[in-house]
Protein backbone atom coordinates (compact mmCIF):
# COMPACT_ATOMS: atom_id res chain seq x y z
CA UNK A 1 0.00 0.00 0.00
CA UNK A 2 2.61 2.48 0.97
CA UNK A 3 5.89 3.19 -0.71
CA UNK A 4 7.88 3.76 2.42
CA UNK A 5 10.59 1.34 3.33
CA UNK A 6 11.19 0.35 -0.22
CA UNK A 7 14.56 -1.33 -0.17
CA UNK A 8 14.82 -2.04 -3.83
CA UNK A 9 13.95 0.64 -6.33
CA UNK A 10 11.74 -0.19 -9.26
CA UNK A 11 14.77 -0.55 -11.46
CA UNK A 12 16.12 -3.20 -9.13
CA UNK A 13 18.84 -1.35 -7.26
CA UNK A 14 19.29 -1.30 -3.53
CA UNK A 15 19.95 1.84 -1.56
CA UNK A 16 23.69 1.52 -1.99
CA UNK A 17 23.44 0.61 -5.67
CA UNK A 18 23.73 -3.16 -5.41
CA UNK A 19 21.32 -5.60 -6.95
CA UNK A 20 19.38 -8.00 -4.75
CA UNK A 21 21.76 -10.91 -5.20
CA UNK A 22 25.03 -9.02 -4.97
CA UNK A 23 27.40 -9.19 -2.03
CA UNK A 24 29.13 -6.13 -0.76
CA UNK A 25 32.75 -5.67 -1.70
CA UNK A 26 34.87 -8.19 0.16
CA UNK A 27 38.53 -7.54 0.79
CA UNK A 28 40.59 -9.72 3.04
CA UNK A 29 44.09 -10.55 4.07
CA UNK A 30 45.76 -13.39 5.93
CA UNK A 31 48.54 -12.99 8.40
CA UNK A 32 48.11 -9.42 9.54
CA UNK A 33 49.86 -9.91 12.88
CA UNK A 34 52.97 -11.80 13.86
CA UNK A 35 52.15 -12.56 17.47
CA UNK A 36 49.22 -14.95 16.97
CA UNK A 37 49.61 -18.29 15.26
CA UNK A 38 47.14 -17.21 12.64
CA UNK A 39 45.42 -13.95 11.90
CA UNK A 40 43.20 -12.45 9.26
CA UNK A 41 41.42 -9.27 8.39
CA UNK A 42 38.23 -8.99 6.39
CA UNK A 43 36.16 -6.13 5.05
CA UNK A 44 32.64 -6.82 3.91
CA UNK A 45 31.46 -3.49 2.68
CA UNK A 46 32.22 -1.25 5.61
CA UNK A 47 32.07 -3.99 8.19
CA UNK A 48 35.63 -4.67 9.30
CA UNK A 49 36.80 -7.54 11.45
CA UNK A 50 40.16 -8.75 12.72
CA UNK A 51 40.57 -12.34 13.82
CA UNK A 52 43.45 -14.01 15.64
CA UNK A 53 44.04 -17.69 16.38
CA UNK A 54 46.31 -19.06 19.09
CA UNK A 55 46.97 -22.73 19.30
CA UNK A 56 46.53 -25.57 19.38
CA UNK A 57 48.29 -25.20 22.71
CA UNK A 58 48.12 -26.60 26.17
CA UNK A 59 44.82 -26.03 27.89
CA UNK A 60 44.98 -22.88 29.96
CA UNK A 61 43.55 -22.76 33.41
CA UNK A 62 42.55 -26.00 35.03
CA UNK A 63 43.50 -29.13 33.15
CA UNK A 64 40.11 -30.48 34.04
CA UNK A 65 38.62 -28.66 31.10
CA UNK A 66 40.74 -30.59 28.63
CA UNK A 67 39.05 -33.26 26.61
CA UNK A 68 40.55 -36.57 25.75
CA UNK A 69 39.06 -36.87 22.30
CA UNK A 70 39.07 -33.37 20.92
CA UNK A 71 40.49 -29.92 21.17
CA UNK A 72 38.64 -27.21 23.04
CA UNK A 73 37.69 -24.33 20.81
CA UNK A 74 37.62 -21.14 22.81
CA UNK A 75 36.01 -18.16 21.13
CA UNK A 76 35.81 -14.58 22.19
CA UNK A 77 33.82 -11.99 20.34
CA UNK A 78 34.62 -8.38 21.00
CA UNK A 79 33.61 -5.11 19.44
CA UNK A 80 35.72 -1.99 19.58
CA UNK A 81 33.79 0.67 21.47
CA UNK A 82 33.97 2.90 18.42
CA UNK A 83 32.78 0.25 15.99
CA UNK A 84 29.14 1.26 16.05
CA UNK A 85 27.53 4.53 15.06
CA UNK A 86 26.80 5.35 18.62
CA UNK A 87 29.69 4.64 20.94
CA UNK A 88 29.43 1.41 22.90
CA UNK A 89 30.09 1.54 26.63
CA UNK A 90 32.08 -1.66 26.79
CA UNK A 91 33.78 -3.83 24.21
CA UNK A 92 32.61 -7.21 25.44
CA UNK A 93 31.00 -9.09 28.27
CA UNK A 94 27.53 -7.88 27.45
CA UNK A 95 24.76 -10.24 26.55
CA UNK A 96 25.07 -9.78 22.82
CA UNK A 97 28.80 -10.39 22.75
CA UNK A 98 28.44 -13.52 24.81
CA UNK A 99 25.80 -14.80 22.46
CA UNK A 100 27.99 -13.99 19.50
CA UNK A 101 30.88 -15.89 21.07
CA UNK A 102 28.66 -18.92 21.49
CA UNK A 103 27.38 -18.75 17.95
CA UNK A 104 30.89 -18.34 16.64
CA UNK A 105 31.94 -21.40 18.60
CA UNK A 106 29.06 -23.34 17.13
CA UNK A 107 30.01 -22.54 13.56
CA UNK A 108 33.75 -23.11 14.00
CA UNK A 109 33.51 -26.40 15.84
CA UNK A 110 31.56 -27.72 12.89
CA UNK A 111 34.48 -27.03 10.58
CA UNK A 112 37.61 -27.62 12.66
CA UNK A 113 38.87 -31.18 12.81
CA UNK A 114 38.97 -31.03 16.57
CA UNK A 115 39.51 -34.76 16.93
CA UNK A 116 43.07 -34.34 15.68
CA UNK A 117 44.14 -32.40 18.74
CA UNK A 118 42.98 -34.05 21.96
CA UNK A 119 43.99 -32.41 25.25
CA UNK A 120 44.59 -29.07 23.56
CA UNK A 121 42.93 -25.73 23.20
CA UNK A 122 42.47 -23.46 20.21
CA UNK A 123 41.75 -19.80 20.92
CA UNK A 124 39.86 -17.76 18.35
CA UNK A 125 39.53 -14.06 19.01
CA UNK A 126 37.59 -11.73 16.80
CA UNK A 127 37.57 -7.97 17.08
CA UNK A 128 35.01 -5.91 15.20
CA UNK A 129 36.45 -2.58 14.12
CA UNK A 130 33.49 -1.26 12.21
CA UNK A 131 29.98 -2.64 12.42
CA UNK A 132 27.89 -1.88 9.38
CA UNK A 133 25.58 -4.83 9.20
CA UNK A 134 26.38 -8.52 9.00
CA UNK A 135 28.82 -8.60 11.92
CA UNK A 136 28.40 -12.25 12.59
CA UNK A 137 29.08 -13.40 9.04
CA UNK A 138 32.16 -11.20 8.86
CA UNK A 139 33.42 -12.72 12.12
CA UNK A 140 32.89 -16.27 10.92
CA UNK A 141 34.57 -15.55 7.61
CA UNK A 142 37.51 -13.82 9.30
CA UNK A 143 37.87 -16.65 11.79
CA UNK A 144 37.92 -19.19 8.96
CA UNK A 145 40.74 -17.30 7.30
CA UNK A 146 42.66 -16.98 10.56
CA UNK A 147 42.30 -20.71 11.19
CA UNK A 148 43.65 -21.38 7.72
CA UNK A 149 46.49 -18.99 8.40
CA UNK A 150 47.25 -20.84 11.59
CA UNK A 151 47.39 -24.08 9.66
CA UNK A 152 44.66 -25.75 11.63
CA UNK A 153 42.99 -28.55 9.64
CA UNK A 154 39.44 -27.81 8.62
CA UNK A 155 36.85 -30.07 7.05
CA UNK A 156 36.10 -27.23 4.69
CA UNK A 157 35.56 -23.52 4.75
CA UNK A 158 32.85 -22.34 7.04
CA UNK A 159 31.20 -19.22 5.68
CA UNK A 160 28.30 -17.11 6.82
CA UNK A 161 25.98 -14.69 5.13
CA UNK A 162 22.82 -12.74 5.85
CA UNK A 163 19.72 -12.45 3.73
CA UNK A 164 16.46 -10.62 4.01
CA UNK A 165 13.37 -9.87 2.05
CA UNK A 166 13.03 -6.60 0.19
CA UNK A 167 9.63 -5.12 -0.52
CA UNK A 168 8.13 -8.27 1.03
CA UNK A 169 8.95 -10.22 -2.02
CA UNK A 170 12.49 -10.17 -3.33
CA UNK A 171 15.11 -12.05 -1.35
CA UNK A 172 18.26 -10.01 -0.98
CA UNK A 173 21.66 -10.89 0.27
CA UNK A 174 24.32 -9.47 2.58
CA UNK A 175 22.29 -6.91 4.48
CA UNK A 176 23.92 -3.60 5.32
CA UNK A 177 23.23 -1.78 8.54
CA UNK A 178 20.98 0.71 6.80
CA UNK A 179 18.92 -2.11 5.36
CA UNK A 180 18.87 -3.91 8.69
CA UNK A 181 17.39 -0.87 10.36
CA UNK A 182 14.85 -0.13 7.66
CA UNK A 183 13.89 -3.55 6.56
CA UNK A 184 12.18 -6.58 7.88
CA UNK A 185 13.63 -9.68 9.44
CA UNK A 186 17.18 -10.76 8.75
CA UNK A 187 18.22 -14.36 8.36
CA UNK A 188 21.79 -15.23 9.30
CA UNK A 189 23.17 -18.51 8.03
CA UNK A 190 26.54 -20.13 8.65
CA UNK A 191 27.20 -23.07 6.38
CA UNK A 192 29.76 -25.45 5.03
CA UNK A 193 29.35 -24.24 1.46
CA UNK A 194 30.95 -27.18 -0.30
CA UNK A 195 28.77 -29.81 1.29
CA UNK A 196 25.90 -27.31 1.58
CA UNK A 197 25.40 -28.07 5.26
CA UNK A 198 23.88 -25.41 7.44
CA UNK A 199 25.65 -25.15 10.79
CA UNK A 200 23.87 -22.15 12.23
CA UNK A 201 20.66 -20.36 11.41
CA UNK A 202 19.31 -17.34 13.15
CA UNK A 203 16.43 -14.98 12.53
CA UNK A 204 16.22 -11.49 13.88
CA UNK A 205 12.43 -11.41 13.86
CA UNK A 206 9.59 -13.60 12.84
CA UNK A 207 9.71 -14.81 9.29
CA UNK A 208 6.69 -16.07 7.55
CA UNK A 209 7.16 -19.68 6.68
CA UNK A 210 6.21 -18.99 3.05
CA UNK A 211 9.24 -16.82 2.61
CA UNK A 212 11.75 -18.88 4.49
CA UNK A 213 12.84 -21.34 1.78
CA UNK A 214 13.70 -18.71 -0.79
CA UNK A 215 15.50 -16.50 1.69
CA UNK A 216 17.44 -19.46 3.02
CA UNK A 217 18.38 -20.46 -0.50
CA UNK A 218 19.61 -16.95 -1.16
CA UNK A 219 21.68 -16.91 2.01
CA UNK A 220 23.25 -20.27 1.15
CA UNK A 221 24.12 -19.00 -2.29
CA UNK A 222 25.77 -16.07 -0.52
CA UNK A 223 27.87 -18.47 1.55
CA UNK A 224 29.04 -20.19 -1.63
CA UNK A 225 29.91 -16.86 -3.25
CA UNK A 226 31.84 -15.78 -0.18
CA UNK A 227 33.70 -19.08 -0.08
CA UNK A 228 34.82 -18.54 -3.66
CA UNK A 229 36.14 -15.10 -2.84
CA UNK A 230 37.96 -16.33 0.27
CA UNK A 231 39.37 -19.19 -1.72
CA UNK A 232 41.06 -16.81 -4.16
CA UNK A 233 42.65 -14.89 -1.30
CA UNK A 234 43.87 -18.05 0.36
CA UNK A 235 45.44 -19.46 -2.76
CA UNK A 236 47.07 -16.12 -3.53
CA UNK A 237 48.41 -16.08 -0.01
CA UNK A 238 49.79 -19.55 -0.36
CA UNK A 239 51.44 -18.57 -3.62
CA UNK A 240 53.05 -15.57 -2.03
CA UNK A 241 54.36 -17.31 1.07
CA UNK A 242 55.38 -20.33 -0.87
CA UNK A 243 57.06 -18.45 -3.69
CA UNK A 244 60.47 -18.81 -2.07
CA UNK A 245 60.01 -22.55 -1.72
CA UNK A 246 58.21 -22.83 -5.06
CA UNK A 247 55.05 -24.15 -3.37
CA UNK A 248 53.02 -21.63 -5.17
CA UNK A 249 53.74 -23.06 -8.57
CA UNK A 250 52.59 -26.46 -7.56
CA UNK A 251 48.91 -25.61 -7.25
Partner 1 sequence: MFTTKSFIKKNKIGNFLKNVREHYIRDDIVCGFSSCYSCQNIQNNQNIGCSKDNFSSNHVNRCKLVEGNHYLILDTNVVLNQMDVLEDNLFGNVIILHTVLNEVKHRSLPIFKRLMSIIDNPSRHFYVFTNDHHKDTFIHQEDQELINDYNDRCIRKACTWYHRHLPKEKFVFLTEDNESKRIALEENIMTFSMSEYVHNLSDKHLVEDKLAKVSSSFPFTGKDIYQAHMSLVELLEGIRGGKLYQGTFKASRENFLEGYINVDGFDDPIIVQGREGLNRAVDGDIVAVALFEKEHWTSPTEIILEDEGVVEENIDELVEKEKEIKKAIKKKGDIKPTGKVVGVIRRKWRQYCGILEGGIEGVYQLFVPSNRSIPKIRIETRQAEFLKTQKLIVTIDSWPQNSRYPHGHFVRALGVIGHQDTENEVVLLEHDVPHSQFSEEVLRCLPKLPWVITEEDESRRVDLRHITICSVDPPGCTDIDDALHCRIIDDNKLEVGVHIADVSHFIRPGTAIDLEAASRATTVYLVNKRIDMVPELLSSNLCSLRGGEERFAFSCIWEMDYEANILSTKFHKSIIKSKSAMTYEEAQLIIDDKTKNDDIAFGLRGLNKLAKILKTRRLEKGALVLASPEVKIHMDSETMEPLEVEVKKLFETNSMVEEFMLLANISVAEKILQDFPDCAMLRRHPTPPSTNFDPLVKAGKHLGFDIQIDSGKKLAVSLDQAVSDSNPYLNTMLRILATRCMLQAVYFPSGTLQKSDFFHYGLAVPLYTHFTSPIRRYADIIVHRLLAVSCGADSTYPDLLDKHKSSDLCQNLNYRNRMAQYAGRASVAFNTHLFFKGKIQDEEGYVLFVKKNALQILLPKYGLECTLYLSKKGDESLFVYDEEEQTQKAGNVVFHAFDQVTVRVSLDSKNIQHEKFVLQLVYPYIEGFSVKPLIESEGADKSNMEQQTMDYQDKCNEQVSTMKKNKRKTQSNNEKRKQKKKV
Partner 2 sequence: MLILSSEKTDNPARIERTYYLISENIRIDGREREDYRPMEIETDVVSHAFGSSRLRLANTDVLVAVKIEVDAPYPERPLEGKLEFFVDCSANATPEFEGRGGEELAVELSNCLSSAYRSEEVFNLKKLCIMKGRKCWKLYVDILLLEVGGNLFDAVSIAVKAALWNTQIPKIKSINVDGSNIDIQVCDDIFSCTKLDVTGAPLMVTVCKIGDKCIVDPNAAEEQCSVGAVVVAVSRGNICTISQTGTGSFHPDTFKSCLILGISVAQRLEDSLTETLGEIKANQDVGFLK
Q: Which residues bind partner 1 (CB under 8 A)?
A: 1-3, 9-13, 15-19, 24-25, 45-46, 85-86, 132, 168, 176, 178, 206-208, 210-211
Of the candidates 147, 151, 129, the one whose C-alpha atom is nearest the C-alpha of residue 138 is 129
Residue 175: CB minimum distance to partner 1, A: 12
Residue 22: CB minimum distance to partner 1, A: 8
What does the alpha-carbon distance between residue 117 and residue 115 come to, in Å, rounded to a whole number?
Answer: 6
What does the alpha-carbon distance between residue 226 and residue 76 come to, in Å, rounded to a whole number?
Answer: 23
Give backbone dihedrals phi and psi of 6, rounded to 5 degrees, phi first. -85, 115
- Taking CB under 8 A as the criterion, the residue among 127, 149, 174, 179 binding partner 2 is 127
Burial 68-106 (b: 16+ CB within 10 A, else e): eebbbbbbbbbbbeebeeeebeebbeeeebeebbebbbe
Residue 168 binds: one of partner 2, partner 1, none (C-beta under 5 to 8 A by kind): partner 1
Q: Which is nearer to partner 1, 13 or 194 (CB)?
A: 13
What does the alpha-carbon distance between residue 172 and residue 23 come to, in Å, rounded to a whole number?
Answer: 9
* Residue 82 contacts partner 2 per CB under 8 A: yes
Residue 149: CB minimum distance to partner 2, A: 13
Residue 160 forms beta bridges with which residues? Answer: 190
Q: Which is nearer to partner 1, 14 or 227 (CB)?
A: 14
Residue 10 binds: one of partner 2, partner 1, none (C-beta under 5 to 8 A by kind): partner 1
Kind and range of the H or E element at 214?
helix 212-242
| Positions in the binding site for partner 2 (CB under 8 A) | 27-29, 32-36, 39, 41, 43, 46, 48, 50-52, 54, 60, 74, 76, 78, 80-82, 85, 87, 91-93, 123, 125, 127, 129-130, 132
Amino acid sequence: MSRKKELISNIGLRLDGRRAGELRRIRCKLGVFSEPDGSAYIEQGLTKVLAAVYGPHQVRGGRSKAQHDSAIVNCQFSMAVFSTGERKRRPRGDRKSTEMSIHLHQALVAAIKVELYPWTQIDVYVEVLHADGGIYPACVNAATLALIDAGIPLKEYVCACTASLANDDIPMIDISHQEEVMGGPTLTVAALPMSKKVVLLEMSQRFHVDHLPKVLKTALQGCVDIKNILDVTVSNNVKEIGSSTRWGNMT
